[in-house]
Structure 1
Amino acid sequence: MTMLSAVPSLPVLDIAAAVQFYTSKLPFQCRYQETGMAILIGDQVELHLWAANQPDVPGGEPHLAGRASCSIRVDDAADLHERCEQAGIRHPNGPLHRTDWGTLEFTALDHDGNALRFYQNV
């Protein structure tokens, strides 16, 4: 058995609004969308969104939206950082910086407040 990949799944309040955000402000395309979920593709990265907008369904409560995070490896963190700066979605505490563990990274926030850490191995 070989593990092949991991797919982040982020809770959002409104699937349509989140898809619009990811496809207009970040380099993602929507592969599939329905009322309760969406699958986004950006080059070799897949990202799932699920609707957290049902107060009386365990695991679907609205307070879950915007409480997740994921890390996405990119080949040009500086270029994507500039795009996120221009779109006004960089996290105020997540500027582009080099780490002691050999990455160039920054954090952006999606439409609901989920943290997206983009990093490049340097």
Structure 2
Amino acid sequence: MLIDINPKLPMRDKNVTREFYINKLGFKKLGNVDYDGYLMLKKDQIEIHFFEFKELNPKDNYGQVYIRTDNIDSFYQSLLDCKTTIHPNGPLETKPWGQKEFALLDPDNNLLTFGQSI
């Protein structure tokens, strides 16, 4: 039986990715071991893994993940307070499919969409 999912996204620079997710999105490092070329981060019940891909061209990256939340307004405001850049086409809005959503890009152009059922 399936019980969880932990997406794996590409990263060019582990330090840049770690800094963005920790300082801009409020994630924390997962575990005590620092794996070469691999990074695991966690926020609340969400865990995202990253693999090193130094040759990645961000313009060619189609990595994306949809993350559900139960307090999207507060989370969105916390990102704005941290001066986190929201995707120009992804401000917080109610969608026709019954979700309140917003989106942003990480330093490697991985698209993170956050949504809450309304």
Judge which range, 97-106 or 65-74, deviates more: 65-74
Residue 97 of structure 1 and its aligned partner are, at CA, apart by: 0.8
Gaps of 5+ in 2: none
Tell me which amino acid in the other structure corresponds to 1:18: T
Residue 66 of structure 1 and its aligned partner are, at CA, apart by: 4.3
User: Which residue, out of 70, 94, 104, partners 1:75?
Assistant: 70
TM-score (norm 2): 0.87
CA distance in 2, matches of 1:16, 1:50: 12
Over the matched positions of the two proteins, sequence identity in percent amounts to 32
- What pairs up with 1:37-116 in 2 under 5 angstroms? 37-53=38-54, 61-63=55-57, 66-86=61-81, 87-116=83-112
How much is the aligned-residue C-alpha RMSD, in angstroms?
A: 1.7
CA-to-aligned-CA distance 1:5-50 (integer Å, 9 cap, x gap): 1111110100121011100000210114322111111110110011
Tell me which amino acid in the other structure corresponds to 2:93: H
CA distance in 1, matches of 2:73, 2:61: 25
CA distance in 1, matches of 2:68, 2:111: 14
SS in 2 for 1:81: helix
CA distance in 2, matches of 1:98, 1:7: 26
CA distance in 1, matches of 2:74, 2:91: 13
Residue 101 of structure 1 and its aligned partner are, at CA, apart by: 1.8
Q: How many aligned residue pairs are there?
A: 114
Does the 8 A contact of 2:24 with 2:84 survive in 1?
A: no
Does the 8 A contact of 2:102 with 2:115 survive in 1?
A: yes
Judge which range, 41-50 or 85-94, deviates more: 85-94
Does the 8 A contact of 1:12 with 1:66 survive in 2?
A: no
Gaps of 5+ in 1: 54-60
